[in-house]
Structure 1
Amino acid sequence: MTALRTNILANYAGQIWMALMGVAFVPLYIRALGMESFGLVGLMLSIQALSTLFDLGMGGVLNRELARRFHGTRLDQTSADLIRTFEWLVWPIAGLLAIIIWLGSEPLANHWLHPDHLTRHDTARAIAIMGLAVALQWPSSFYTNGLSGLERQPALNLINAGFATLRGAGVLAVLFWVSPTIIAFMWWYAAVGAAQSLTAASVLWRLLPADNKSQAKFRLKEIHSTGRFAGGLLAIMALSVTLIQLDRIVLSAMRPLVELGYFSLAMSVAAGMGRMIQPMFNALYPRYTRLVSLGKVEELNHLYHLSNQCVAVMAASTAAVLMVFGKDVIFLWTGDNAAAAMLALPLSVLIAGTALNGLINLPYALQLASGWTRLTIGSNLVALIFGLPFCIWAVRQDGVLGAAYLWFTINLGFFAITVPLMHRRLMRGELSKWYFQDIIPPIISAIFITLLGRWFLPALQRNILSALLLGAVSIVTLTVSALSAPMLREHIYRQLKVRIGSST
C-alpha cells in the first residue's frame, strides 16, 4: 500500500501542477491572441483528443500488459518486445496524423469554421502547424502509459509536469517577445511536443533491464495476442472521444468561432477539475489489474470501495465549490465580468457533468482490469446515437449552454444506468454500498457546506481576501466531505492514532 500511496500522491502533485499550468495563463493567452484565436486553441485540444483514435488501443494494452508482466521486482522478458513492436506502429502513425491534418487545414478553414477577424489563409496555416504539434506530442501518451503500467508515477508526473510548465509558461515569452500570433503559439507547441515524446521514450527504455533492451524485436505475435483487448479499447476510445468532442464539433460548425473560444474557456476550468480525479485512475488501474490477475478478491473489494470514496470526496468537494461559486471563480481568474456572467450557468452544467464522469472512472478501470470492454462500447454507442441529434438541437437553441447540456446528460446516463449494469457482473452485491456509502454521503456533505458558505460570505471581489475566503470554503468542504465517507474516515482516524502514538 505504501507504493500505491506514493503513486497516488505523485499523481496528484503532477495533475495539480498541470491543472495550474493549464488554467493560470489562459487570461494572458486571450489578451495576447484575442478570443477568436483562442478558439483555435480549443480546436487544437479537440483535434488532440480525436488523435487518440489513431492509438488503436496500443497505449491501454501497454499499460495493462506491463502491469500483468511485472513479477516481483522484474519484468517478463517479452515486455521489451511488446514496446518495440508497438513503436514500429506509433511513430509512422504520428507522421500520418500530421499529413491528414495538413490536408484538412484548407477545408476546415474555408468550409467549417466561421472566423470574423482572422483571414482564411492564416486560419488554414495555423491548423496545418497545429497538426504538426499534435502529431509530435501524440507518441508521448504511448510511453507514459508504459510508465503507468510499471507504476512509475513519480517519473511519469515529473515528465508531464515539466513539459506542461515549458509549454504553458514558455509560450508566453514567445507571444510577448517574439510574435503575438496564433502561428507562433502553434510552433512553440510543436517544439515542446517533440521534446516530450522523446523524453518519455528515453525514460521508459531506461527502466527496462539491459538484457531485455538489447534483444528487443518486432514480433507479430505480440499484436495477435493482445489484439482482442486492443480492439475493444479502440472501440471504446472511438466512441468516447467522439462523445466528448461532439459538443465542440457541433459548436464550431454551427456558431461563430468566438463562441468556441468562450466554450473553451469554460472547458479549461472543467478540465482542471477533471485533473483532480485522473490521478486515482492512473494509480489504481494497474493495481486493479494486478489484483484481478492474482485472484485477490477480498483485497480488490476493499481497495475498490476505499478508492471510490476518495474519488467521490475529490469530485464532490471540487464540483460543489465550482458550481456554487462558478461566476466568482471566472471573474477572479479572468477579471472579465462579461465572460463571468455569460459562462456562469454553462460552467456549472459542465462541472456537474465532469463530476459524474469522475465518479464512473474507477468502475470503468475495474472493467478494463477484468478485460471486459463490451459494456462501455454499448453504452457509448447508445449515447452517441441519441446524443448527436440532441446536441444539434441544443446548440441551435442555446449555443454554449446547449453544448454543455450534452456533457451532463451523457454522464448522468452512465452514472444511473451503466454502473448498475456493471455491478451485475463485477463486484456483485456491492452496488448499494457503492451508491449509499461510497458516493452519496460525500456529495450531500459537499453541497451543504458550499451552500452554507455562499449564504454567509459577502459578494466576492477580485482581490486576495476573496481568493483566501474561497480557498477556506474549499478546504472546509473537502474536510467535511472526507469525514462523511465511512472507510476514508476510519482510515484517517487510524493514521492519526498511529502518528499521535509515534510522537508520544
Structure 2
Amino acid sequence: MFKNIIANYVGKIWGIVSVFVFIPFYIKLLGIESYAVINFYTVILTIMYFADGGLSATLNREVARNTNKQYIGNMLFTIERVYMAVCLFIIIIVFLFSKIIAANWLNSNTFSNEDLSLYISLMGISVAFQLFTTLQSSGLTGLEKQVLSNGIQVSSSFFRSGVVLLPLFFFPTLLTFFIWQVSINIIFFFVTRYNLWRYIKTDVKYTFDREILKTVGRFAGGMMLMSIISSLNTQIDKLVISKLLSLKEFGYYALAGTLSQVPELIITPIAVAILPRMVKYSENNEKDKIKKLFHINTFILSTLAVTGGMLLFLFTKDFLLIWTHDIVIANKIENVTKILLVGAVFLSFQFMPYYLAIANGHTSVNVRLGIAAIICIIPALIFFVKQYGLIGATYTWLIMNVFAYFYLGYFIISKFLKGEFKRWLINGTMIPLIITAIIGFVSYLLTINLQKGYFVFLYSIIIGLISLYINLTIFNKMNPGYRINILQLRDDEKI
C-alpha cells in the first residue's frame, strides 16, 4: 500500500503544482473572464460525474474484491457498454442546451452567446471522454495498479494543463483551449483503456451480462445518488454564483475555491489507497483490522488536512500574492478563501466515514443527507449571495460541511464500527483541530511582524513540521493500542 500512497501523492502533488503554476498563465494570456469559463468547464465536469451512475466506484470495489478474471472481464465489458450510452447522452444533452446555458446562465461582458454556446458544446465532448477515462482509472486502482494509473493521469494532466500553453501562446483564445482539451482527452481515453484491459484480458471472449448489472446495480444506484449529492455539495455554490454574479466575480470565487481545495488534495491520495484494503477487510469481516485501519488513518488524514488548512489560513494573502502577482485579486478574495478553507477542513473529516460506507456497500445515509442538503442549500445560497455577494456563498459552504461532518460520522460509524464514534470524533478530529489551531495562533503572534513574501514558505515548513510532530506525539500517548510508527507505512499489514 505504501508505494500506492506514494504514487497517489505524485499524482496529487502534480495536480497541486499544475494549479499553482498554470492558472496564472491562463489569466495572463486569456483574462479573468476566460478563466471563469474554464472553471465553469470544471464545474460541469464535476457535476457530470453523477452520470457515471456509480459505475466507476462499483468497478473499483468489484475488482478489489474479486480475483476471477472472467467475471471481472465480463463486468468491465458490460459496464463499458453502459458507459458508451451515458457519454453519448451527455454529448447530445450538452449540445442541445448549450445555447440556453450561454444565453440565460453565464453573465459575460466579453463573449457573445454564440461563442459561449460553442465552448459549452466542446465542453460536453471533452467531459464525456474524461468521464470514460475515469472509469478505466478506477479499474486500475481496484487492481492496485496505482503507480501506472497515476502515471497516466499525471501525463494526461500535463498535456491538458501545461502543454496547452504552447498553442495558447500563438492562438490565445478559448476555442484553442477547448479543442486541445477534447483532443487530449480522446487520446488518453484509449491509452488508459488499453492498459486496463492488458491486466484483465484472457483468451476467453467476454459478453454483455445483464446479471452482472443486477448484481452490482443496487450499489451502483446508491453510488449514483451519492455522486449527485457530492457534486452538488462541492459545486452548487459555483453554479449559483455563475448565475447570479458576473463572470468576473465568478472567476474571483473560482480562484479562492481552487486554493481552498489544498487540504482535500493533500489527503485524497491516502484515502484512495486505503479503500481497496478497507474493502478486503470488510469482505472478510476482520473487525479489528478495519477498526485499526480506520482510526489510524482518520488521525493521519485529519492532521494533514488541518495543518495544511491552518498554514494557508495564516498566510492567505501572502500565498495569493505569490500565486497571482495581483494585489487586487489578493485583496478581493482573501476573506473568501479563509472561510472556504475552514469548510474544506470539515469536508476532509468526512473522508474516512465516507470510505467506510463505500467499503461496506452502504449508501443510504449519504443519500438522506444529500436530499436534505439539496432542499436546504440552494435557497440558502441564493439568499446569502444576494445579500452578501461572494462572501455569502462561503457561509453556506461552511455550515453545510460542519453539519455533514457530524451527521455522516455519527450514523456511519455507529452502524459499522459500533462504539467507536466518540474515539473518531475526539481523538481523530477534534484533538488535531484544537492542537493545530493553538499552534496556528501562537505562530501568528510569532510571525506577525516578520518579513513575509517568499519567506512564508520557510515559515510554513517549520510550523507544519512542528504541528505534525506535536499531533503525532499526543496521539501516540493517548492511543497506545494504535501507536503510529512512520516506518510501519512500508508494511501493508500494519496499517
**TM-score, scaled to structure 2:** 0.94
* Deviation larger for 457-466 or 422-431: 457-466
Q: Does 1:422 align with 2:415?
A: no
Paired position in structure 1 for 2:98 = 105
> Take 1:471 and 1:459, find their aligned partners in 2: how far apart are those partners?
18
> Take 2:141 and 2:487, find their aligned partners in 1: how far apart are those partners?
30
Aligned residue identity for 2:42: L
Q: Aligned with 1:151: secondary structure? A: coil
Paired position in structure 2 for 1:195 = 187
Q: Does 1:36 align with 2:33?
A: yes
The CA deviation at 1:99 is 2.0
Q: Percent identity?
A: 26
> Take 1:376 and 1:321, find their aligned partners in 2: how far apart are those partners?
30
Q: Deviations over 1:270-305 (max 9, x none)?
A: 233321121122111121111111111111111111
Aligned ranges 1:23-62 → 2 under 5 Å: 23-62=20-59
Match of 2:66 among 61, 64, 69: 69
Q: Deviations over 1:98-127 (max 9, x none)?
A: 221122221111121110122222222221
The CA deviation at 1:78 is 0.5
Aligned ranges 1:388-407 → 2 under 5 Å: 388-407=378-397
> Take 1:207 and 1:494, find their aligned partners in 2: how far apart are those partners?
34
Q: Deviations over 1:250-280 (max 9, x none)?
A: 1111111111111111111123332112112
Change (3 A) 1:96 1:209: closer
The CA deviation at 1:314 is 1.0
Paired position in structure 2 for 1:205 = 197
Change (3 A) 1:498 1:106: closer
Q: Aligned with 1:180: secondary structure? A: coil
Match of 1:128 among 96, 113, 121: 121
Change (3 A) 1:180 1:118: same
C-alpha RMSD over aligned residues: 2.1
> Take 1:483 and 1:122, find their aligned partners in 2: how far apart are those partners?
57
Moved over 6 A (4+): 487-493, 496-499
Match of 1:20 among 17, 20, 26: 17
Aligned residue identity for 2:338: S
Match of 2:164 among 150, 158, 171: 171
Change (3 A) 1:288 1:351: same
- Does structure 2 retain, via aligned residues, the 8 Å contact 1:23–1:272? no
The CA deviation at 1:459 is 5.7
> Take 1:386 and 1:497, find their aligned partners in 2: how far apart are those partners?
44
> Take 1:29 and 1:461, find their aligned partners in 2: how far apart are those partners?
30
Match of 2:474 among 465, 475, 484: 484
The CA deviation at 1:89 is 1.5
> Take 1:63 and 1:157, find their aligned partners in 2: how far apart are those partners?
15
Aligned residue identity for 1:292: S
Aligned residue identity for 1:345: N
- Does structure 1 retain, via aligned residues, the 8 Å contact 2:236–2:378? yes
Gap regions ≥5 residues in structure 1: 500-504
Q: Does 1:147 align with 2:137?
A: no
- Does structure 1 retain, via aligned residues, the 8 Å contact 2:354–2:408? no
Q: Does 1:300 align with 2:329?
A: no
> Take 2:275 and 2:478, find their aligned partners in 1: how far apart are those partners?
19
**TM-score, scaled to structure 1:** 0.92
Q: Does 1:328 align with 2:318?
A: yes
Change (3 A) 1:295 1:386: same
Q: Aligned with 2:206: secondary structure? A: coil
> Take 2:21 and 2:450, find their aligned partners in 1: how far apart are those partners?
19
Aligned residue identity for 2:184: V
Match of 1:92 among 76, 85, 88: 85
Aligned ranges 1:259-408 → 2 under 5 Å: 259-408=249-398
Q: Aligned with 1:275: secondary structure? A: helix
* Deviation larger for 23-32 or 273-282: 273-282
